[in-house]
Structure 1
């Protein structure tokens, strides 16, 4: 393999693994926020206790995924300087700001809010505590927004001018309004909600199939997961179709290679505009990625649509084959999400910044031996993190709410309410 192939393999493998963490994080945190809000608004003490346990159970799975996933995000940052210094030199002045904002939001704001939420059980007023998990949700999607703004520039560069071989930002508004970023953000949001909904529904159905005693807890989780999965999977297909006119206008070669139509004419035009080179992305990769995404998307949408009707009188979980079918659906949205990422990135080849910077020009001057070592180390590290993450998630998901440790800490001395003059306990002031 050439140095460019090794660098591309390394970034593709590590980004794919990181993407699996991201899609579950963004899909699960809104559901946890809804559960926590639901519990806070419940007046019946028995039902409120059940819904708080529901929040802590799913919140713990979310925290595991977030904690391990953030490590993969940190490691990926090193690759820009290690393998793609040409990209940083050309486009760093443009997408450096979005990447910096994403880092500030993800590693400072989001992590801070999440830490306060984790350690705030029993120590904060309910309204403040619920607000924190919604702030975690908001910052998670804000982080995704800035990443897609940076990636959108690579897909369709706007709001810049080239001076001395480097791009400089001239219109920040155009960068933020880039349709290649905004429509992709809508598609990503709905895909993440589909993933989170199917995950929650699948784990809940698994516990019903095993004959759980936590029927009310998992019944509520199952209903929420199925409804979110059904609605999100329906609209994710629609928003995905909205990207086609944008791609026809901004990346015509991607769509031509996918449909195998008009490729020769576009190749000749690009040779005239940019000089000799092969500007045709791999048709097989595009077709497989698109078919994977489409088939799985339609399957998930159909199954969850039928599952909504089977929720009536618990018919979905009274028959074990149906319950296990919902559990077997859990990997499908992840596979579809990877297919979507492959289609988005591979279809841009041979450009790293479309129409401006090729992959070969962006590659760092690093020896093939160095890239081979770093590729092996990075991939091994990311696979180990992924295996660790899913082992922990599967273990705690299988054990159920009884094994939940989130929010189960003993109160600190200054958390215990003090007695007033009348002998009654007074609530701590925050």
Structure 2
């Protein structure tokens, strides 16, 4: 999306709000009722929430009654990653296995003791080591394990073989959660096909409003004993507090729009992503495309050009009117070393220069052309400065 003379290519950080979503939010924001009230105004607000619940459920092949609204993907992950998450009638997990390339909300947001947590290593493509997982699941014996694996990585776009992982974990009686925040709306996501017990979502990655997310359970045969937010009985006692009805309604509209023509939109965006990647390789033949050997989200390109530092390059692109990222927006303003790239074994010198281009519903061919032109100028300018300094 071009805003004036600017081009926005940072959809993995947040996707611009779709116009239809903004209309929904404004309309619902003006409704007076509390969704917990029994009068007509309250029932109208409740109706907006339940319509959104249905739309979010459809996006991931779930039942509406198993969708729990939260303030975002981080809260949803924090809610479910607890030893008290279990199947009804069974013991809860005593250990947590986390993928090495997970989002910080998983690595830092779970509620297990440090000694109960193990990290699943990844290979140079960013794919988790299933042999390691299989061996360590076997070592746990009768100890129940919760495994959290991101469906698609926010920095690299690398997609994990989640159905295979879930099958392996279930063979050992464990539970599986997946952070589907980046994948939902970009590739088909079906909670039944994936075979996971729970997944988490965030509205603003879909062109929805910031401040809305969801925990989605595979069925109603689960419970979470230790709630994060206690008080009233909202969200079936999973999440207390008056609901943000306008943001939730906007989430529902965003989910509907993302599901419509999903395959066609993914194909369109992938063509643009591939074009951007081809420009990078033309401009810098020695560029590293991170995760190139793995299946990736169709919208994500993470690359490094030897000799270029991300911090310097980001400023140069910004001055050229291009909004990119060096990785997760959760650490924006602090261009620091990526644990994802470390887990993949990317050389530190290259890892310090990785940039991320992430496309979305508002991206056009013109955006990619502007990126390519800016990339050529940025690379040329920075290399000239480097040569002069030498």
**TM-score, with length taken from structure 2:** 0.24
**TM-score, with length taken from structure 1:** 0.22
Structure with the greater alpha carbon radius of gyration: 1
* Larger proportion of helix: 1
* Larger proportion of strand: 2
